[in-house]
Every structure is written in structure tokens, then in C-alpha cells.
Amino acid sequence: QVQLVESGGGSVESGGSLRLSCVVSGDYYSTYCGGWLRQAPGKEREGVAAIDTDGVISYADSVKGRFTIARDNSKIALYLQMTSLRPEDSAMYFCAAIQRGFCSPLPPPDDYESWGQGTRVTVSS
């Protein structure tokens, strides 16, 4: 059983920054694709960024240049540094994983096998 636990969400003003963290635990393979996804009220869940074990990264066009995904393989953790936040970035953010070695192109939500409970991000104008 795999567990993913997110933290770091909160409320910020437009232009602000937040850093999300995700700790992976449980019976997991050393090679996996880790991703961040989000879902705003009334909208479908969408991929934001993903990173594989070798550090190859994919981003959604809407966050390129503003968000940075990283992983710490020794701690089995994922991070998402979010800068220049906009009100349209407001959503529930989820950490998720796929037991495969590649993450490019950005995987669709249905590809992910394990999910965290989510952490809320609210950006006010």
C-alpha cells in the first residue's frame, strides 16, 4: 500500500508564492513518475507538472515559467514551488504517482495510480 501526503497549501495574494510538499511512504517501487495535479471547483482535474526518477520534467503550459517541480529520491518526496500565483491557480492540489519510469509527455490524470488527499491553494486578487 502506498501513501502520499501533501502539505503546504494556503491562501496568498495574487503574485505571491507557495511551496507544496508531498511525502511518499509505504510499499513502493524505486522507479516512479511523480506528479502534481489540481482541480478547481466545477472543473476537471488537470495535470500541472510531473517528474521522473531521472529528473525529466513536464509542465502544463499554464504554469511554465512560474511553477517548479522537484523530487528528493532519498526522502521519496515531491515538491512544487509556485510563484507569480494568479487567482486562476486556486484549486485543490494533489500529489500522485505512477509506477513507471517516464513522465513525458505530461500524464493525464487517469494514468495516475496512487493519490494523496490534496491540499487547498487559494489566490486572491
Assess whether pLDDT exceeds 70 at residue 30: no
**What pLDDT, on the 0 to 100 scale, is given for residue 24?**
87
CA distances to 5, 34, 49, 63, 93 from 69, rounded to whole Å, are: 16, 9, 6, 11, 13
Assess whether pLDDT exceeds 80 at residue 74: no
Distance (Å, whole) CA 69 – CA 29: 20
| More confidently predicted of 38 and 30 | 38
Assess whether pLDDT exceeds 70 at residue 29: no
